[in-house]
Amino acid sequence: MPTPDSSAAERPTRSRNRRGEGGRLRQDILDAATALIEREGGATNLSLRQLAREAGISAPSVYAHFTDLDDVVDTVLNGFFDQLRDAIAAANAAEADPVAALHAGCGAYTRFALDHPGRYRALFDRRPTGPDATPSRPVPVRTDVFQTLVDAVATCAAAGRSATTEPFADAAAIWAALHGAVLLRLSVPGFPWPDLPVFTEALVTRTGLITD
């Protein structure tokens, strides 16, 4: 029977980088953090020792490329935000009709969340990451991602397709509704939820004050 420390001992040790390959180590650390977040369903309990073990390196090696564990997690989260923003923007751009574009972008948001639950939870659930980590900093502010939704609502209003007079506030309402719907689906998967695209469209139509 393995001892409590045998799993760590059995994990393959990462081979030493050749000169000029420091960038590979940095990416290996980010890849290890991503794998842990996806496997654990978030970044809440991530520790420096756990990250180093996953990457097959010693814990001090992390400091050659990152200030601390929070710096690693912030970098990974910014990458997740980029993925989410790009998915929303691509969905918006694929539709010429402003209301269809709004619905498509919101659909891309919910699909990202449900297809990548660990990544999604990590974006909005930053807490202290464990005894080996420095105190957790706030989630990186990425208002550019939210701005895609504000712009989509404003475009609907400009086209006379939404009754909103406050695109920012109504975009925030849409986001809150979608976020709540996503978390409920992830937390209570056995509930007989309505079809996701239909449910998402209904939420967006009501909270975005879509007129037709």
Please, what is the end-to-end C-alpha distance for the chain in angstroms? 65
Q: Is 89 helix (H, G, I), strand (E, B) or coil?
A: helix
**Each residue of 125-142: pLDDT tens digit?**
876 554 444 555 555 668
**Each residue of 98-111: pLDDT tens digit?**
999 999 999 999 99
pTM across the whole model: 0.82
Q: What is the Rg, in whole angstroms, of the alpha carbon atoms belonging to the chain?
A: 21
Domains defined for the chain, CATH in brackets = 73-207 (1.10.357.10)
The per-residue pLDDT for 129 is 52
Contact predicate 51/29, CB 8 Å: yes
What is the residue-wise DSSP string for 59-79?
Answer: GGGGGGT-SSHHHHHHHHHHH
Residue 8 pLDDT level (bands cut at 50, 70, 90): very low
